Structure 1
Amino acid sequence: MTFTTTKLLCWVLIRVVATKEGLDLLDKAVHRMPVHYKQHIDGCLSDTIGEHGLSEVELAPMVDAAEKATSDLGNGVIQGAAEILALPTQRDDLAHLDAIAEEMRSRFETLIVLGTGGSSLGGRAITALRPDNAMKLQFVDNLDPATMSGLLDGTDFSRTGFLVVSKSGATSETMAQYLVSFAATQATLGGDASSHFVVITDPFDSPLRHLASVRGHTILDHDPGVGGRFSVLSNVGMLPAAIGGLNTNEVRSGAADVLEQALGSSAAETCPSALGAAICLGLARHRDARMSVLMPYADTLEPFAAWYCQLWAESLGKGGKGTTPVRALGPVDQHSQLQLYLDGPKDKIFTIVETAISGEGHEISDFEEAPASIEYLLGNSIGDLVAAQQLATRNTLIEHKCPTRFFSVPRIEESSMGALFMHFMLETMIAARMLGVDAFNQPAVEDGKARMRTYLENR
């Protein structure tokens, strides 16, 4: 497929996006899309924030580069992307995952997920949406002796299942977690311990796959063409989601909508992921905005911000290139980080994720002895307060000339989460192509792994 500036309305609009007419046209075009979210970028432009924003002249070549990268992505030129882009429309694996999830829910009260990095962050992010009555999930993604001891000492192994995720099947942290967890389970349950473990790993020989096979665990193949940080739409994220009672079909459908919008010529009137990449890299190049702060205003999106940080950092940080992702959470980080953001160096781009939260939660009722200083709170719900805070933070950042884009998300649900996952994966892949780096490897971290192994062997 070809992507031309006349074919994609978004590229045409970027040429006039700094004008009110351009923004109005873009807003109308976005409204014709499936409304999982809307991205607003005028707070990153010089017409809005002056010298700290991008001018049309500066943005145009970045958009051209993003257009070329998007075309390469759609045409299969970028090695390592095809398997990831196939996941949103894949459905033939979901029935099997649902069956495993149903069995685990029927047998266990708690599922402990052992994995680190991309083997855990995506699953943790999507399952933050699970209903209150869902099966209890614990993600053990960091390795700490006190944490592991506390976990295993307090576990009822007869009512606990384990999901072990390691793409390579040799990740040291995950192997250590698995080995001590299986030993503790076996010490309590004997031969029944094996049926409490499900393993996701590459379909190649590895220590984890060998042990899982010998011990009789259920084994699911990790897609060998999908790296951990891009694996949330695979069984790595979809099995925990299914166990948590979420609709995995809706997650992938939301992702598919965004993918079609970005790559499908019949529906691609706007390209938010490509536009996001152009904005982020344009601000880094022309305004030295070397930090990218993602600040959602919802507790359920805090794990999503952690997922984004790994995705952006590990995909782009190569050969002296890339920008540093920072996660924040509203409203709480208004009381810790916002002072720096507003009055510190102008070296950041801010992405605020706003939710339609007005009217939700308990109402703050009036009472007779209410001090006059808090009357503005009375009669409002908790959601009203948070809605006002997210709007105030966004507009205050823009007023202080801080480059700020925001996402408005009508509902935080499976489809919108799938859409957000896909948006940021596409934005990251497009940005990597623009920077000339491989989004799918992480060569620098291998040195630390080799040193760790040497230190242990030489103790």
Structure 2
Amino acid sequence: MRIIFDGLSRETIGEQGISIAYLKRRLKILSFLKDTVQMEKNSIAKLREVIYDRRTLNSVLEVAQNLRKRFRYLAVIGIGGSSLGAQALVSALAEQPERIAFFDNIAPEALFSSLKKLPLKNTALNIVSKSGSTTETVALSMVLCDLLKKKVGEKWKEHIVITTDPRKGALRRLSQEFKLKALSIPPEISGRFSVFTPVGLFVAGFAGVNVNELLNGAMRIDKHSRKSEAGKDAVFAAAVCDSLLWRKKRVFVIFSYSTALKKFGDWVAQLWAESLGKLQNTKGEEIHSGQTPIITLGTTDQHSLLQLFVEGPADKVYNFIEVEKPKQDVRIPQIFDREMGFTHFQGKTLGQLLKNELIGTLGALLKKRRPIMRIVLDELSAEEVGALMQFFILRVVYLAKILGINPFDQPGVELGKKITNSLLGIKDYEDLRPIAELAKSERWSFEI
């Protein structure tokens, strides 16, 4: 994996970019923060510890492989960090992604659409919630478990694996009461950072992903960052660059040039938005920190969003995700007469065309002085995807430390949950009912 910083430099894009000399000074000045992160014994330490925990990995893989032998399909019931990381792994690396169904939305039409493709008698259910009480997850679990019981009777319990807190929460109690298989999420790790815990590893193992290679990639990045001084650490350098553009560039664009990495973009969006979008810093001062992530796919979004990116407001920073060697390629056949003007495709493949389209998009943005970081995977392998995800996890942690914010909480999300609970009649949240009523207001509306 290569991280290419050229498109961020003032030498390439002028005043919109970062002076290389100034970046070097900032890396030296901020190196103490990198050292602080290395020494911390809290959530940051646990994030690194899980990728080396082979005992947990082996026990998770044992459960996954046993269920894989008994059931053809897996339904994953979870939302946000309990689902997006696993979705990214399946989309990028599974040989048969159609064997995994994700239930992460309570819209009835989405539920019925997914159930049509899923024979429940041959399906295992993985219920994922760190708290054990996530509203959408609990509701969907009750629906699917009820359907499963109607199909297989008392054998329904053999289909279930719960992934939750090791000691507390409603799902942990449920697993104990019904003697269901259960996997543990380390309490120190927030959901959006949990892809290398049983949350992601169990699903990846069931999907046939080489999980050992996945973790090897994550370890590769971790060791690089641990052993490199600040000026030679690509992860820390990326975070410092992010911090230098933070106030000027309020939109963070992920532009993936691989359809297999589209779901990876969705995972990054949550990681970036929930970790870095904060009202207050760690001193309690109001700062309204954050960049709005936009997830795009090449070449599709060249024909929808590129016009805005090239000629619209210069308020965005771009991260391009590329794969050097595609798993497959297709030669473009010359089936039309030369007179039709398509001779420029002669001898070309779709992979080559994709690369040319990528360079064209990069060129158009650079010509307009837009800041770009390029992340190039050697290939779409488990090791490279693991490295890519660990790069973003550590990058967010470093950036949060530089900005002085806590990347592990999510008070804005919790407020929405509390207002929802007030509508469900939960007594502890009755004081929020007036806000819920305000949200339902239709005093100023038109019916057309």
Call closer, same or farther: CA 1:371–1:405 in 2, change over 3 Å. Answer: farther
2:192 is aligned to 229
2:317 is aligned with 1:349: yes
1:45 is aligned to 9
Offset of residue 237 of structure 1: 0.7
Distance 1:136 1:100 in 2: 17
Offset of residue 213 of structure 1: 2.0
2:42 is aligned with 1:74: no
2:127 equivalent among 157, 164, 168: 164
2:361 is aligned with 1:383: no
User: Does the residue aligned with 1:457 lie in a helix, a strand or coil?
Assistant: coil
> Residue 163 of structure 2 contacts residue 182 of structure 2 at CA under 8 Å; is this kept in 1?
yes
Offset of residue 422 of structure 1: 0.7
Distance 2:359 2:257 in 1: 10
Percent of aligned positions that are identical: 31
2:395 is aligned to 427
Offset of residue 152 of structure 1: 3.6
> Residue 69 of structure 1 contacts residue 434 of structure 1 at CA under 8 Å; is this kept in 2?
yes
Moved more, 117-126 or 79-88: 79-88
1:364 is aligned to 332
User: Does the residue aligned with 1:43 lie in a helix, a strand or coil?
Assistant: helix
Map 1:234-249 onto structure 2 (within 5 A): 234-249=197-212
Offset of residue 391 of structure 1: 1.8
Deviations 1:1-25 (A, max 9, x none): xxxxxxxxxxxxxxxxxxxxxxxxx
Letter in 2 for 1:398: L
1:261 equivalent among 214, 224, 228: 224
Distance 2:378 2:352 in 1: 15
2:204 is aligned with 1:216: no
Offset of residue 269 of structure 1: 7.3
Deviations 1:197-239 (A, max 9, x none): 1000002332222222222210111111111111111111111
Distance 1:368 1:140 in 2: 45
Query: Which segments of 5 or more consecutive residues in structure 1 lack a partner in the other structure?
Result: 1-36
Call closer, same or farther: CA 1:412–1:381 in 2, change over 3 Å. Answer: same
Call closer, same or farther: CA 1:359–1:421 in 2, change over 3 Å. Answer: closer
> Residue 251 of structure 1 contacts residue 415 of structure 1 at CA under 8 Å; is this kept in 2?
yes
Query: Which segments of 5 or more consecutive residues in structure 2 lack a partner in the other structure?
Result: 280-287, 427-432, 434-448
Call closer, same or farther: CA 1:143–1:298 in 2, change over 3 Å. Answer: same
Distance 1:379 1:193 in 2: 55
Moved more, 134-143 or 234-243: 134-143
2:112 is aligned with 1:137: no
Call closer, same or farther: CA 1:154–1:412 in 2, change over 3 Å. Answer: closer
Distance 2:403 2:298 in 1: 31
Deviations 1:283-304 (A, max 9, x none): 123xx11111011100111111
TM-score between both structures, scaled by the size of structure 1 = 0.87
1:280 is aligned to 242
Deviations 1:78-124 (A, max 9, x none): x4211101122221122222221221111112101010001101111
> Residue 135 of structure 1 contacts residue 244 of structure 1 at CA under 8 Å; is this kept in 2?
no
Distance 1:107 1:47 in 2: 58
Offset of residue 65 of structure 1: 5.5
Call closer, same or farther: CA 1:70–1:422 in 2, change over 3 Å. Answer: same
Offset of residue 358 of structure 1: 6.8
2:250 is aligned to 290
Equivalent pairs, count: 419
